[in-house]
Amino acid sequence: MEILKLTALEIREKLINKEITALEITETYLDEIKKDKNSLNAYITLDEEGAISSAKKLDEKVKNGKKLGKLAGLPIGIKDNISTKGLKTTCGSEFLKDYIPPFNASLIKTIKEEDGIILGKNNLDEFAMGSSTESSYYGVTRNPLAIDKVAGGSSGGSAASVAGNQAILSVGTDTGGSVRQPASFCNLVGIKPTYGTISKFGVVPMANSMDQVGVFGRNVKDAAMFLDVLMKYDKNDSTSYMDTGKILRNLDLNEEVDLKGVKIGIPREFLKWECDEGIKLRFREGIEILKSLGAEIHELDMPYLEYGNACYHVLSTAEASSNLARFDGIRYGHRTENYEDLDELYTNSRTETFGFEAKRRITFGTYLLTGEEREKYYIKSLKVRRLIKEDFERAFKEYDLLVSPTTPNLPYDIGIESNGTKSMYDGDKFTIPVNLAGLPAITVPSGKVDGLPTGIQIIGNMYDEMSLIKAALAFEGGIKNGI
């Protein structure tokens, strides 16, 4: 049996039926990571010992006929900005090179309770700032589909691990597109659920008002199942949504879905923006698939979307500058040896080990919160954010779902973003407005251009993950059947 070819749902079933053991599954995946045939560099830290020991315990459970969790036997990668007890959590930064958290993030506890096997910690852009994983102190992650190209970011390692057979599922974080963009670049399904539906307790914040944990899978069913497990109210997270348990309560992944009567809108603004011609073509074909599945599709105006990027970069850097103040050389991570007083201790610890992008954002964000600039930029952006949110609210009065390409560009060559010739800020323009409004969105593979993957983004109304997943299932089926 080719273990690497099995879906997450199949692995669990075969484990329950005693056709394979958790140890076989885990060792198969660990071998792939250790060989790392294409030098993907998808992991910063591997937890071989932890994974093997979890697998053995699980096999005991199977042997003793105990009830198995929903993630039983599934090898999972975790973005390295999520706290894991006793296992290094670096955030892709030199600053946290040796930091070992004394506690587990709530979502890690959930994965363990559900018998998932955590393989290790996935590479990411430093503190989740970036779109290519090139700002990681631990080196770039390669795209398993085209190894000279980036895997996307900031959750590039999480995406590459699932696409490159080094995990069956993985967890990422998405502040402006960091799950959906790498998922699209690696031909995967990526889901960023509604703000507050997966606990962020123990997740290192970048821009809290937009940060959201999301999931990666090789198909919609796997990703939706994983999402269902992780969406859970958590009293330790003040932004956690109380009724999370109700969102996917009636989800039936085996139901035949069509889109009859579903109203889908395409924001005209999205169509006007610069976008790769091949991606546009795949998107138009995707629209035809949705139509043939029964959806009713119209264009609509959402005039404030245009300001999404500017608004995001003001708010996210302002929040990041404040969040990163906790890395002061005293409480966590690196402490300089070169200081005479407290100010120097702070300054030198940070200067010595923060990378360029982190410094750029801290500097810019601090400026935006200082003196008169605060009113001019920060407060103004909060107002613009409200207008963008209202654009979506109007849209969802008329439409069930909205669609766009996930990214305006195909996976690009390693190096062109970090040397400044490619603007990383442009690549998230379709995904950013979703975070500003706190909405759920999914990316589903929508065909290739010159061998490189593209994705269609489906956006839902608050807490309507159900419609999102149904549409994604239908679309994925439509593509497979060549509708």
Using rule CB under 6 A, residue 440 touches ligand GLN: no
Closest approach of ligand GLN to the CB of residue 314, in Å: 12
Provide the CA 375 distance to its chain's centre, in angstroms: 32
**Is 178 an annotated catalytic residue?**
yes
- Nearest residue to ligand GLN by CB is 178
Kindly tell me which residue out of 206, 223, 224, 468 binds ligand GLN, with binding defined by CB under 6 A: 206
Contact mark string toward ligand GLN, 85..114, x via CB under 6 A: ------------------------------
Residue of 41, 219, 316, 461 interacting with ligand GLN (CB under 6 A): 316
Q: Return d(Cα 155, Cα 123) in angstroms, integer.
A: 7
Strands 263-267, 401-405: pairing kind: parallel
Closest CB to ligand GLN among 194 and 348?
194
Judged by CB under 6 A, the residue of 92, 101, 120, 130 near ligand GLN is 130
Cis peptide before 154 (omega within 30 of 0): yes
From the list 89, 123, 131, 409, which residue makes contact with ligand GLN (rule: CB under 6 A)? 131
Token pair recorded at residue 313: 């970069």
* Residue pair 321/213 in contact by the 8 Å Cβ criterion: no
Residues 162-191 that bind ligand GLN (CB under 6 A): 173-178
Measured from the CB atom, is 183 or 189 closer to ligand GLN? 183
Please, are residues 319 and 311 in contact by the beta-carbon 8 Å criterion?
no
Catalytic member of 93, 132, 155, 178: 178
Q: Which of 175/219 has CB closer to ligand GLN?
A: 175
Q: Tell me: does residue 128 bind ligand GLN (CB under 6 A).
A: yes
CB 443 within 8 A of CB 220: no
CA nearest neighbour of 59 among 72, 49, 76, 46: 72
Q: What is the DSSP string of 386-445?
A: HHHHHHHHHHHHH-SEEEEES-SS---BTTTTTTTSS-TTTTTTTTHHHHHHT--EEEEE
Regarding 154 and contact with ligand GLN (CB under 6 A), the answer is: yes
Give the C-alpha separation, 80 to 97, whole Å.
11
Q: How many residues bind ligand GLN (CB under 6 A)?
A: 14
Catalytic residue, from 154, 199, 321, 381: name it: 154
**Which bin fits 93, alpha (ψ -120 to 50), beta or left (φ > 0)?**
beta
Structure tokens that stand for 381 in this block: 């952006």
Nearer to ligand GLN, 130 or 164 (CB): 130
* Residues in 44-63 that interact with ligand GLN by CB under 6 A: none
Q: Which is nearer to ligand GLN, 45 or 173 (CB)?
A: 173
Q: Which residues contact 472 (CB under 8 A, 6 or more apart)?
A: 189, 220, 224, 442, 444, 458
Which residue in the list 79, 221, 232, 422 is annotated as catalytic? 79
The minimum distance between CB 149 and ligand GLN, in angstroms, equals 16
Annotated active-site residue 79? The verdict is: yes
Binding site for ligand GLN (CB under 6 A): 128-131, 154, 173-178, 206, 316, 428
Q: Write out the catalytic residue numbers.
A: 79, 154, 178
